[in-house]
Structure 1
Amino acid sequence: MSFSSVPFFITFAENPELAICAEDSIKGARLVLKPFKNNLLALFNVDFVQGLFGLATSGNQLVIGAEDITLGAPLALQLLQPESGKLQRWDIFSAPGNIVSAADSCLAFGYRLRTKPPLQLTELNAPPFPQWIFLPFTTTQRGILESAV
């Protein structure tokens, strides 16, 4: 694995103050949209070759995965395991702005307002389709992760 040396916030294009964030730093924690300011659970290292997103605070041992490669499958943190590859691999190059399942190119990261879970696999380009912006930690304002006073 070759994770990026600089972590990224995966921000929501519709509201760039929000980013994909884990609810906790444990296996099975669901992914949600939250403000990324002062939030270490919103920092992900990216392995662009393998298509992995590792939670930076876990030493990349927890990665973004889907429970199944089906429409509506929730996105959550999973232990990095080679045998779970199809559930943990993503493509960010074939459909710019989208994060597409490497196992099924018709499914992508989606956000559904007023549904549980809100971050799930949705049809690629199904309206309203979210777009994601990778914001390197090094480009954020100084103090973005300082303790809130």
Structure 2
Amino acid sequence: MEVVLTESDPKLGQRGQVIRVSAGYAHNYLIPHKKAALATASSLKNFEEEKVRHIKALADRKAQAQTLADKILSLSLTLEVLAGEAEKLFGAVTAQDIHEGLLSRGIAVDKKDIQLPEPIKKLGAYTVSVRLHPEVQVKLKLWVVKKKD
């Protein structure tokens, strides 16, 4: 019996793939658990249409991420923080602080996408990696300066 997978499975295959399984396995497990649907002409057509929509949505998200990356590349973010002697900060600059700095500039980036290997604890210039999409990553210029009293 042929079925179309409605979700990916490591043993069976990828979503949208047509596979051949026993009738009992299809009727007793795959179809009731909504892991597959009967491979009819209409279900195949629906999966193809959904696949095209999915590919278009992925391309749109990548284009939006690229536009945002261009904005970030042209930006130099300056964060004013409290610091003591020897340029050491009281506290640290974290991804949350960078996120808030970008938001104040009108750029919305999820703080989980800001990749800091460790919190910044000294004044200076840094390059921070921001992952906007699995295929789009950009470097942000960050200046950590002492807050004026």
| Common topology (TM > 0.5) | no
Larger radius of gyration between Structure 1 and Structure 2:
2
Scaled by the length of structure 1, the TM-score of the pair is: 0.23
Scaled by the length of structure 2, the TM-score of the pair is: 0.23
